Amino acid sequence: MLEARTHKYLKEFLKKNSSNWKHLYSFGRIISSFVRKKENLLINSEIFLNEEWFPGILMTLFLNQENSKFVIPAYQLQSLLNEHLPLYKEFGFDFSVQNNQIIFSQHKVSIQTLGSLLDDYRQSNYEKQIIIFADVGSLKKDLKNILRITLYKKDWFNYVDSFLREKNELSKTYDLLKEKFFLRSFPTQTFMSLNIDEANLIKKIIKENVDCSDKFVKLNKAFISGWAFWVNLDHDKFEWSLEVEPIDQFLEINELLSKNNMIFLSSFRRDTFFKRYLTKHDIKLTSSISLESNFVEKDIITYIPSKLLLPNNPSFIKSTIDNCKKFLFLSKGVSIFLSNEDNFKIKLATELASIYGQRVLLENYPNLDNQIVCASYDWWINKLHLICPPEQIIIPLLPFPNMVEPINQETISSLRNRSKNWFREFMFPEAFQLIDKAVSPLRKNSGKLVILDGRISNRKWGRDMLEMIQPQKIINYMYPFD
């Protein structure tokens, strides 16, 4: 059986290549079982934030003589091909590598990014097979970036001479819309929603000139599918561009997921929302499993001060910055302050720098043990694997989606139109997943988490969100003067 063979090869592999992950054998056998039975599986573990689990996947796919696809982030692709694959040659695996494909005599394993997988799937000769996704925790965000279409000024003009009449019509439309957009914009506005007349004009001109370019073809399909679209304004260059993006990213890959055998690996400690997305799109899982990572999990020491203000209170910014200063008073290790509000983040960094000087960094690596970093959630999540777990993470503001961004407005509008709870369906999951990723290093050193947004204690959903941060130990005070 595939499970037994995978276990045997992993045992030989680990004699020469040690691993700190005690669940690697179990992981390999589970993967082998679901690959053999061609069943859908979701595994949750923070181990997927590093590469110690690679042997469990690769051994299975090498031994299973069927074509398969292994979808990993771009930053891991070269590491897998250049550093990991040479380790397997000495165990009797005879393969060559061409164009990111590991080719055996009977089968091949394609190592792909999500973007290249979608490009392949658009080809009519796509073969049904096993697909393993390395980190579905960022799948929604990655899909947004891949599927987004941007129509720049040059896209309205870059055509050959045979399209001179159309080119003239397109250039006139571009200039007409530019005049409309800038007349009703204010000087610092970067996003703009379209009114009905403007939206209809763009749809009409794209449809009439759909043969001019591949991008026009994609745009026309996007309009037919009901994607959201809005305008970006560049006041310095006096130009505008059109942004088009699907409201439901999973809907766009529904056929891909439903027609293949899928194994999903999530770097979240526990699955919270991904199964809901799959259920919504009729993708059935045979099983969902959670595995411990390669470290001893410790309680996050969580502190929520009493009498916190709500963000809409005029005194919130001053009160919150004063609180932030207080929590640095006796801190000896690295402190991370997280906020997606740029103005607040910069003001906080400025205020802290007036007291702590060069110890304060704005989205930069801490080189000293007692430095203070003010950063956005995305910056911290992208860098946290490069930085030792901090002594404390302080969250002045919960990371809800920015309602200035048109795609968020369109998402909420779509949910409202379908009588869905837009807050629980969209806002809550987006915010919690950012927090859960951001605080994950604190599980390694039992670091402190302080939340200063009054909604965490004054709203039912805030208390629900707090309870979902696990494992945790809530404390009633941090200093004697609290």
Token pair belonging to 217 = 């073809």
The fold of 2-146+249-290 is Rossmann fold (3.40.50)
The fold of 300-475 is Rossmann fold (3.40.50)
| In the chain, % of residues over pLDDT 90 | 74
Give pLDDT tens digits for 419-466. 999 999 999 999 999 999 999 999 999 999 999 999 999 999 999 999
Which residue in 137, 120, 138 sits closest to 129, CA to CA? 120
Among the residue ranges 310-314, 325-329, 346-350, the one predicted with the least confidence is: 325-329
> pLDDT-based confidence at 162, cuts 50/70/90?
very low
b/e code 272-297 from CB counts within 10 Å (16+ = b): ebbbebbeeeebebeebeebebbeee
Question: H or E stretch including 262?
Answer: strand 261-266
pLDDT of residue 159: 53
pLDDT of residue 57: 96
Q: Pick the more confident residue, 290 or 169.
A: 290
CATH topology match: 2-146+249-290 vs 300-475: yes
Give pLDDT tens digits for 184-235. 998 889 999 999 999 999 999 999 888 888 899 999 999 999 999 999 999 9
Q: Where are the domains of the chain?
A: 2-146+249-290, 148-245, 300-475
Dist. CA 405–CA 211, nearest whole Å: 31
Which residue in 67, 126, 68 sits closest to 256, CA to CA? 126
Q: Is the pTM of the predicted complex or chain greater than 0.85? A: yes
